[in-house]
Chains A and B, each alone.
Chain A
Amino acid sequence: MTTDTDTASVPSPAPSGFDNDNRQAATIGDSARDYVNRLRGGDMGSLPAILGLVFLFVVFASLNDRFLTTYNMANLVIQAGSIIVLAMGIVFVLLIGEIDLSAGVAGGASATIIALMLIDYDWTWWAATLAGVAVGAVIGLAIGSLVAFLGIPSFVVTLAFFLALQAVPLKLIGSGGSLRFNDEVLRGLSIKNVPVTAGWIAAILIVVGFAALSLWRYRSLSAKGLVHKPLGLVVIQIAVLAVIVLGITALLSANRAPNPDLFTIAGIPWVAPVVIALLLFWTYILTKTRFGRHLYAVGGNAEAARRAGINVRRVRIMAFVICSSMAAISGLLAASYTGKVSPGSGGGNELLYAVGAAVIGGTSLFGGRGRALDAVVGGLVIATIPNGLGLLNQASYINFLVTGGVLLLAASVDAISRRRRSSAGV
């Protein structure tokens, strides 16, 4: 509380009741002004990520004409999948003001278990996946308990897990070896596509569902005279979503094979529906459940949350469990993309990419701010960098330099906007 000084202006009292509660009947103009005010106050949301994405697309498209081909765009979606899912998990620990440095290797360890179950024990894909996610959950439970009960800084606990968990694949696979990952369904997540018709049906269902929910929400809020967005804004949001979803579907439904006469590659890669399902699920949890609300409360002011009767320890532990479980799914997607699990899986850049993705997307490193959607937007930005640079045949050191620079830039934006928020009090 740095802002509540005596100098803070006191709005002049209105004649009665909530007469000056004018947000109920906001117009599009009001909303636009509001948005600009929020931006100036430092509440940037996903705007830096979207601008960054546009910038990267313009640069890469002008440097290489293969970048904007639908073949490469589909590749980008597949490459972004595992980063996005890991970032979505990271969002949960960032929300409560903690960090998980071990998420990448937790994903690698879980992927190793999945591969072993598939190969050595002949488990079906879903049983093996469940086993992998369970391994992730147990790792998260251990980290969360150490942080919540012993009060060790999460930075240290997860650093220890980052080191220790690398032993798991190394022991199970053996150094230098690797496990093939060619299960029909799990490998298919990356190399197969949703049938074109089914893709269109799903896309239309998403748009119609979003439109119906938004309009229903608008009606029920405005009927009761509660704070709501203006109808114009609701319509614009629906239109934007429709353009994005249907546009991407159209793009990916075209035949994108390098030799279109010889064979056909068309449809949305299976990774995309997985990411979208996770996005919808976690968005619901974060915005519509008590647990989600408590996550934000713990990140905003843990003491206030405790006094409000929230079990802060349980919320903390759950955040780590969710993060590591998502890391397991991310490890699975990464293995599905490369077709193998090796001892080094998840020990490289994965974690930093994911943290970068979450922060670029608008999730704060300081806790209390973030959405599942941030991971998707930020993950696309992060995935675009190696994708575009790869097409340019640049030496890999440039890739490291650029990604590090982008992460630093995102963290700076976060820190500066936080300062502005606390001085503007938005």
Chain B
Amino acid sequence: MKYTDEFRDAEKAKVLIKEIDKLVATIEIAKTRPINIMEVCGGHTHSIFRYGLEGMLPDAIELVHGPGCPVCVLPMGRVDDCVSIAERPEVIFTTFGDAMRVPGSKKSLQQAKADGADVRMVYSPMDALSLARKNPDREVVFFGLGFETTMPSTALTVLQAEADGIENFSVFCNHITIVPTIKAILDSPDLHLDGFLGPGHVSMVIGTAPYEFIADFYKRPMVVAGFEPLDVLQSIWMVLKQIKDGRAEIENQYARIVPEAGNNAALTAVGKVYELREFFEWRGLGSIDHSGVKVRDDYARFDAERKFAIPGVKIADPKSCQCGEVLKGVIKPWQCKVFGTACTPEMPLGALMVSSEGACAAYYQYGGVKKHTTVRSGSQPVSVS
């Protein structure tokens, strides 16, 4: 398949792994402890597991799976709000597929659907707008979810709805923004991160400038990375190279998609429709200042939060859950007290077990329930359980 196979070439991977091995051998800190690199984006976590990348990397590299799965970090109270909107008889509630299973305090959208709510899976907010056109007597609500990656598409849909005079469409806005969250992680006292793989698709929209503080203030290298396995390996090599050279810079490995300045048209649409919230609640991480956006007053009639009375009750994360520590890279998923026992993909307690992009679900599915040991590249297969 063109445009993907080129980035999945096993021969090139071998060369890259060899180069990574060589580089790691020259890095001083790797002699005493592992080098911790956080991939911020859930898309990277998915690629790492899908292609078995962790097992190919030298032991001296620890990948820490970051908070960049928007489905995972959605707090329970917000899911309850979704369910309460979805259960209104006049509402058709539309959502991306993987948000269906996120548990609320009482039920998920999937359960609400089984109980009679009209919940429909769509692939784009524009599909939700078409539904609103086709059902003028119903209220169509789109579950706006995700980072800057999906924010422009919901903003443009709101603008389209306004232009077409469609009044029975609204967005339940749960969009979040990654930069304040990376900052919160960097400010955390129990942090041990040596570098970052930056989120490729978010950066396609916002560009690379918003990350400069990571290098300037926190002196950590970041490489904005693509999602194919060779992209990830090359980006890891680039982070290591910076560590080796004693540099802390924001580099762009994903230049074929990510322009340094971002996408102006997308940013304009986002700026027009959304403004920063004072704070937003993240599952596992708590409340983070300026980490979410809401619909501006000018577009209030497309804001489901204002159109419908939502309970807006804050639900505390289950006490036994250690999602926050996993997200910050303090513990590995299998070190969580409830991993694979009280918390499984069938009955997720914590957010990270919900989406296939969540670090815990990925370990559970691709890495096994017991401690994850992997196959070293080039050696005979050993037990992976």
A and B associate in one complex: no
